[in-house]
Amino acid sequence: MLAIQNARLFSEIAEKSRELAEASQHKSQFLANMSHELRTPLNAILGYTELMADGAYGEPSEKMLGILKRLEANGRHLLGLINDVLDLSKIEAGQLVLELSEYSVQDIAQTARSTLEPLAADKKLAFKVEMAAELPPGRGDGRRLTQVLINLVGNAIKFTDTGEVAIKAEANNGSFYISVQDTGPGISAADQAKLFQEFQQADNAITRKKGGTGLGLAISKRIIEMHGGKIWVESQPGQGSTFTFTLPVIVERQVEAA
C-alpha cells in the first residue's frame, strides 16, 4: 500500500519538475524573443538618425543636428532601459549565467573611465582612478563586473554637480574592494535602505528629473551576490556618497540566489 502511494508521489514529483523546467524554458524563449522584437525597431531609429546626422540624406542644418543628437541620446537611453529590464528578468528567471574567466580590475576601471569620462567632463567634474599597486588578476565575469562599475560611476556623475568622482580599488585577504566616491548631495539613511530594491530610486521626483530605470543598483547587487560578494553605500546628506563592493579575487563557481 505504502509502496503504491510512494510510487504515485514520485511520479507526481517527476511530472511537476518536468512542468517547471518547461515553464522556465518558455520564459527563456520569451525573453529572447522580446529582446529581438524590441531591438529591431530601435536599430532602425538609431541607424537612420546616425545616417541623417552624417549627411547621407543631405547636409543637415545646425538646428537639425542638435535635434538628431537628442534623438540619438533618447534612443540610446531606451536601449539602456530595455537592457536593464531584460537583465533583471533574466536574473529573476534564473537565466543569468556568469561567464567566469580571468579579468583585470585595471581594465575594468579603464573601460568605465573611457566610457564615462566625457559625461564627467560635460559637467566639469574631476574623474580620478586610484588603484593599489600590484592588484592580482581576478577570476569572475569581467563583462558583468564592468557593467556594475559603469552603473555606479554613471550614478555618481548623474547626481554630482560639482567636485569629483573617484574609483578606488584594493585587494585584501583574497578579496577585492572597489569603491566609487562622489561629492554629490548624499543620501539619507531612510533612502539608503531602499536603494538596492527594484524600481526604487531614493525619490520618485529624481527618476523624472535624472532618468534611469531604478533597476541599475538592483541588478548590480544581484551580479555581485552571484560572485559571492556584497555591495553597500556609506553616505550622509551633504557629505557625498561612497558605494563599495567586495568580492573574492577568485570566483570558481556562481553563487545561486537564496
Tell me if 20 contacts other proteins by CB under 8 A.
no
Tell me if 5 contacts other proteins by CB under 8 A.
no
Stretch that binds other proteins, among 41-49, 132-140, 189-197, 237-245 (CB under 8 A): 41-49
Instruction: Give residues 98-127 in contact with other proteins (rule: CB under 8 A).
Output: 99
Tell me if 57 contacts other proteins by CB under 8 A.
yes
**Measured from the CB atom, is 41 or 136 closer to other proteins?**
41
Tell me if 251 contacts other proteins by CB under 8 A.
no
In the complex, least distance from residue 56 CB atom to other proteins, rounded to whole angstroms: 5
Question: Residue 112's closest CA among 168, 151, 84, 82?
Answer: 151
> DSSP secondary structure string, the chain?
-HHHHHHHHHHHHHHHHHHHHHHHHHHHHHHHHHHHHHHHHHHHHHHHHHHHHTTBTBPPPHHHHHHHHHHHHHHHHHHHHHHHHHHHHHHHTT------EEE-HHHHHHHHHHHHHHHHHHTT-EEEEEE-SSPPPEEE-HHHHHHHHHHHHHHHHHH--SSEEEEEEEEETTEEEEEEEE-S----HHHHHHTTSTT--S-HHHHHHH---S-HHHHHHHHHHHTT-EEEEEE-TTS-EEEEEEEESB--SPPPP-
Stretch that binds other proteins, among 43-51, 145-153, 186-194, 248-256 (CB under 8 A): 43-51
**Measured from the CB atom, is 141 or 182 closer to other proteins?**
141
Q: Which of 47, 66, 94, 118 binds other proteins (CB under 8 A)?
A: 47
Fill in the per-residue mask, 62 to 101: x = in contact with other proteins (CB under 8 A), - = not in contact. -------------x---x----------------xx-x--
Instruction: Give residues 152-211 in contact with other proteins (rule: CB under 8 A).
Output: none
Tell me if 22 contacts other proteins by CB under 8 A.
no
Residues near other proteins (CB under 8 A) are 31-32, 35-36, 39-48, 50-51, 54, 56-57, 75, 79, 96-97, 99
